């Protein structure tokens, strides 16, 4: 009698806010009748739609939708919900992803020596705002061991020696698998991941680049910015793809600089941006608000 169980669980969760919700992300080519079909599906089984967002890419005609409903009165259990959506997916040729709010995503954060982005992610988690759980820090150095201990998250150090990168990556990949990680966050991790690694984690690695992409891709962006004499600097969080700094952008932000700002000043101001932008992007991803369309993202904010 799974449905009953599910409802029981939902009721218990309901006692404390917020209620248990289901989030459905879909994309498809032909959407005729899709909104009505999905709304009906939720309504007919006793769900209450809390949030609905949609977007049609004008050029490709591709359609994207995010639907959130309150599961507390829903008459289908998770298995049956899944099956119901599978049926609709066949009918409308949907790509889709269904998640429940009590299933917290498991996050691994990869770092090198800089602590600012790691602190920010950890604090966000500590305040209960992240929308997932950081289950492991992976680093090529032990510089941030103390920070990991403070936040009580285990650190695994895999030194990345020259010519031994493949071996290090093999260990990293094995660990990510063991830990059932859903998302990898590169929080100023100073190694470039191999195409094979990136391919395997397609759409599930978020990196922070310390410039307003596409300006100043590659190394030493603040030096580049200072030399070009820009009046605004930025930071960009994006999904990692095989091409360096070219993946779909999730979030960007900027701040003003002037002739008075040295490269060091830009680095300091940039650190503020990097951590804010990265944490925002990770939250958006974990709240299932980001859909990828080619090299762009749809962000239902």
Q: Which is nearer to a second copy, 44 or 82 (CB)?
A: 44
Q: Which is nearer to a second copy, 180 or 228 (CB)?
A: 228
Question: Among 19, 48, 72, 194, which residue interacts with a second copy (rule: CB under 8 A)?
Answer: 48
C-alpha 19/C-alpha 84 separation (Å) is: 22
Which tokens go with 112? Answer: 């090198």
Residue 166 CB, shortest distance to a second copy, in Å, is 31
Q: Which is nearer to a second copy, 164 or 223 (CB)?
A: 223
Residues in 130-149 that interact with a second copy by CB under 8 A:
146
Residues in 74-113 that interact with a second copy by CB under 8 A:
none
Q: How far is CA 206 from CA 41, 191, 211, 281, in A?
A: 33, 14, 15, 8
Which tokens go with 175? Answer: 């660990």
Q: E strands of the chain, at which residues?
A: 21-28, 48-56, 63-70, 95-100, 105-111, 132-139, 155-157, 183-186, 205-209, 232-239, 249-256, 290-293, 296-299
119 binds a second copy (CB under 8 A): yes
42 binds a second copy (CB under 8 A): yes
Pairing of strands 183-186, 205-209: parallel
Task: Specify whether 70 is catalytic.
Answer: no
Question: Among 2, 5, 8, 43, which residue interacts with a second copy (rule: CB under 8 A)?
Answer: 43
C-alpha 142/C-alpha 148 separation (Å) is: 10
155 binds a second copy (CB under 8 A): no
Residue 285 CB, shortest distance to a second copy, in Å, is 14
Residues in 249-288 that interact with a second copy by CB under 8 A:
249-254, 258-260, 262, 268, 271-272, 276
C-alpha 276/C-alpha 273 separation (Å) is: 5
Residue 43 CB, shortest distance to a second copy, in Å, is 4
Q: What is the CA radius of gyration of the chain?
A: 21
Residues in 184-223 that interact with a second copy by CB under 8 A:
212-216
123 binds a second copy (CB under 8 A): yes
C-alpha 191/C-alpha 189 separation (Å) is: 6
C-alpha 136/C-alpha 144 separation (Å) is: 13
Q: Which residue is catalytic, options 120, 245, 253, 261?
A: 245
Question: Per the omega criterion (within 30 degrees of 0), is the bond before 127 cis?
Answer: no
Residues in 232-251 that interact with a second copy by CB under 8 A:
232, 234, 248-251
| Chain residues that interact with a second copy, rule: CB under 8 A | 31-33, 35-36, 39-40, 42-44, 48-56, 58, 115-116, 119, 123, 126-127, 129, 146, 150, 212-216, 227-232, 234, 248-254, 258-260, 262, 268, 271-272, 276, 293, 295-299, 301
- Catalytic residue numbers read 245
């Amino acid at each position: 009698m799974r449905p009953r169980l599910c409802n029981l669980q939902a009721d218990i969760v309901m006692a404390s806010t917020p209620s248990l919700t289901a989030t459905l992300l879909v994309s498809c080519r032909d959407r005729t009748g899709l909104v009505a079909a999905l709304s009906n599906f939720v309504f007919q089984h006793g769900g209450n739609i809390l949030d609905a967002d949609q977007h049609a890419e004008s050029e490709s005609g591709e359609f994207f939708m995010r639907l959130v409903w309150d599961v507390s009165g829903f008459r289908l259990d998770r298995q049956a919900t899944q099956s119901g959506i599978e049926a609709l997916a066949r009918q409308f040729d949907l790509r889709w992803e269904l998640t429940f709010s009590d299933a917290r995503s498991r996050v691994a954060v990869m770092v090198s020596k800089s602590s600012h982005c790691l602190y920010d992610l950890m604090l966000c988690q500590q305040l209960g705002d992240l929308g997932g759980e950081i289950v492991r820090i992976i680093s090529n150095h032990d510089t941030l061991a103390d920070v990991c201990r403070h936040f009580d998250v285990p650190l695994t150090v895999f030194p990345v020696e020259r010519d031994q990168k493949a071996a290090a990556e093999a260990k990293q990949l094995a660990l990510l698998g063991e830990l059932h990680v859903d998302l990898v966050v590169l929080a100023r991790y100073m190694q470039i991941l191999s195409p094979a690694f990136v391919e395997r984690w397609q759409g599930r690695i978020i990196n922070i680049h310390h410039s307003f992409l596409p300006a100043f891709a590659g190394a030493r962006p603040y030096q580049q910015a200072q030399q070009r004499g820009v009046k605004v600097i930025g930071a960009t969080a994006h999904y990692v793809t095989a091409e360096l700094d070219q993946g779909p952008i999730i979030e960007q932000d900027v701040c003003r600089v002037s002739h008075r700002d040295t490269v060091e000043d830009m680095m300091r101001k940039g650190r503020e941006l990097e951590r804010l932008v990265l944490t925002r992007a990770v939250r958006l991803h974990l709240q299932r608000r980001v859909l990828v369309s080619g090299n762009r993202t749809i962000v239902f904010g």
